[in-house]
Structure 1
Amino acid sequence: MKGGILLLRSIAVISSSVATIISTMLPLFLYVSTPNIELISIFILLIFSAFLIHGVLTHALNDYTDHLSGTDTNSPAILSGGSRVIQTEVFSVESLGRFGKWLSILLVMILLVFLMLGYYRLAVLLFVGLWAAVAYSVPPLRFSYRPFIGEWLCTFPSVLFLGFAGAWLALGSPPEWALQNAVINALICIAWVMVHHIPDLDADKNAVPPKRTSVVWAAEKFGLAWSRLPALTYYFLAFTCTAWLIPERFWAGAGVTIVTAVSALFIFKMNVADPVQVSSYEKIMLMLAILNAVWLGIFI
């Protein structure tokens, strides 16, 4: 039980997956005439899936890989550095690896059942989540060990699809506001993940093989102070989406502007060499990400 709770890393799941689900489900409850029982069923399904695939599978595979490479062992382990279930001996390396493998196989079997029964939208959503979890951490792909690729081929599509999934399942096709919310929440998620990687910079560089996150790439290319560049870039991309919002959703755009500006201010202010300070600022950004998701859900 304790191991499962640690592995979930609930704050990360809530600040990304759960937040983006709420961002799309909230307008459906408030403004759309779909029966509440149907919306509640979709909401429960998506929340369960988020905790199963993001909270359990993704973290199990990532913890296993990052322990073998050595980066989690040398992490400051404040917010970053994995769930610590291996380091605290809640799970052995072998048992966590086996668990991740068999859970992946089970999910593939469920995916095939969805296809056979004609539940194509569920199959697509499950495929994207499964792809993101496996491709992010498992060799030979192991995209989290390559700059930019991990966030664009794994994190972004998984949060994007989860973001508009509620509207897609309930309405048949996601409206523009659902796509807008999903894109912005996914970009903000990637942005705070980049902050999350800053305290692990040295551990990632010294891993075997090296974990060359976008943060490591920026620090190696331009210097330590530039390790904040990837996070700032993704917050800026989220801000540019206000041009898409403001013509019809002024207050939604205003909220995104404030959240991205405040987050950027904290990034400029932080001492990237101080993992305690970086992690404390990251907590603020997590809360801002949740606030942004709810704000977008209210003002559609």
Structure 2
Amino acid sequence: MKNIVIQRKILGLWTLMRFMPVLTFSGSIVLINISYAWQKAGPAILKPALILAAGALTMNSFLAHSLNDMEDWRSGTDRVSRGILSGGSKVIKYGLLNRLELGEIAMAAFIFSLGIGTYFYHIRGPLVLAALAFGIFAAWVYTCPPLRLAYRPFLGEWICLWLSGTVLSTASYFVLTGGFDIFPFFAGVVQSTLVLGWLMQHHVPDISADLSAAPVKLTTPAYFYLRWGPRYAMMPSVMYFVLALVLSIAGYYYIHPVFLGMAFVAILGILAAASTKSQDVMDVTRKQLFTTVLIIINSMVFMIYITL
């Protein structure tokens, strides 16, 4: 019996981590900055890079996902979501972890994140603590009361994803090198914008569940759905991929040719979002898997291009 409980918890932790979404968001942004810092400083960044990756993984997966799962289960949206890739990690639904255990995981992740922040504070100073504080703030207010920014159109994705991605990009390069460089910073901005397009796809299968939640989870796709109908549920995804395209072209002209590859990724994202049947969960899932792979490959291409 004890072994079964341990196995359940291990499987629950793995499921809660949601490796692919984490790699798509924080993993890809950290990878971009590590690759550029390596090109500048070499093997000296190896130890802090591993610690940085551990901190980003912990905050994005175990801290943010635990809080999200607890609150979205409480509001009811994750209980009835039809999403395959969305609708939380589903650890409560599958009986792998309960809300008490999620709270303990969130607290452990919070303490571990503070430890990582303290380590980098001793190396780089108080700016590290400011970035850490914002990351914890973003993880908390995304679904937790009183703000619940994910339950409001535009606010959740801009403050808790795009802005936190930009802060993560800036802080990652800073803790590794002690400086700032426009190149990895702008690459992080473009990557965060691509992830916005991906996140809007992520919300679409949950629209009916989100609108039945208490309080109502009015994501941006749900807002477009209510305002203009099902045909426009994918419009936020298209809009953000278009914005990523504009930023990529600007980066190509003013910063570095590698941004042309990011523009190509944005174009494929636009085509995928525009061709998605918003009321077909399987079609939304296929398109989201496609853009997931695109965004991860984008960061890897950047890494290879910079380090070679």
Would the TM-score normalized by the shorter structure come out above 0.5? yes
Which aligned pairs between 1:34-45 and structure 2 lie closer than 5 A? 34-36=41-43, 38-45=44-51
Structure 2: stretches of 5+ with no match in the other structure: 1-9
Identify the residue that residue 6 of structure 1 maps to in structure 2.
Answer: 15
Note closer, same or farther for the CA distance 1:176–1:107 as it changes in structure 2 (3 Å cut).
closer
Instruction: Write the deviation string for residues 11-68 of structure 1: whole angstroms up to 9, x where unpaired.
Output: 1001111111111211222x31x141x3112221121012111010100000000001
C-alpha contact 2:55 2:116 (8 A) present in aligned 1: no
- Which letter maps to 1:6? T
Query: C-alpha separation between the residues in 2 aligned to 1:95 and 1:134?
Result: 17
Question: Paired residue for 2:198, among 192, 201, 205?
Answer: 192
Identify the residue that residue 6 of structure 2 maps to in structure 1.
Answer: none
Q: Does 1:251 align with 2:257?
A: yes
CA displacement at 1:166 relative to structure 2: 3.1
Note closer, same or farther for the CA distance 1:55–1:273 as it changes in structure 2 (3 Å cut).
same
Instruction: Write the deviation string for residues 67-121 of structure 1: whole angstroms up to 9, x where unpaired.
Output: 0111111111410011111111111223323543564466568767976997323
Identify the residue that residue 292 of structure 2 maps to in structure 1.
Answer: 286
Question: Paired residue for 2:98, among 71, 92, 97?
Answer: 92
Identify the residue that residue 21 of structure 1 maps to in structure 2.
Answer: 30
C-alpha contact 1:21 1:164 (8 A) present in aligned 2: no
Identify the residue that residue 143 of structure 1 maps to in structure 2.
Answer: 149
Q: TM-score, normalised by structure 1?
A: 0.91
Query: C-alpha separation between the residues in 1 aligned to 2:116 and 2:294?
Result: 35
Identify the residue that residue 222 of structure 2 maps to in structure 1.
Answer: 216
Identify the residue that residue 82 of structure 1 maps to in structure 2.
Answer: 88
Moved over 4 A (4+): 105-118
Instruction: Write the deviation string for residues 123-158 of structure 1: whole angstroms up to 9, x where unpaired.
Output: 123112111110112100111111111111111122
Structure 1: stretches of 5+ with no match in the other structure: none
Q: TM-score, normalised by structure 2?
A: 0.89
C-alpha contact 1:20 1:163 (8 A) present in aligned 2: yes
- Which letter maps to 1:225? R
What CA RMSD, in Å, does the superposition of the two structures yield over aligned residues?
2.2
Query: C-alpha separation between the residues in 1 aligned to 2:188 and 2:259?
Result: 14
User: What secondary structure, in the 3-state scheme, does the structure 1 residue paired with 2:78 have?
Assistant: coil
Identify the residue that residue 177 of structure 1 maps to in structure 2.
Answer: 183
Instruction: Write the deviation string for residues 263-290 of structure 1: whole angstroms up to 9, x where unpaired.
Output: 1111111111101110111011011111
C-alpha contact 1:19 1:290 (8 A) present in aligned 2: yes
Deviates more, 1:225-234 or 1:53-62: 225-234
- Which letter maps to 2:25? S
User: Identity across aligned pairs (percent)?
Assistant: 27
User: What secondary structure, in the 3-state scheme, does the structure 2 residue paired with 1:4 have?
Assistant: helix
Identify the residue that residue 244 of structure 2 maps to in structure 1.
Answer: 238
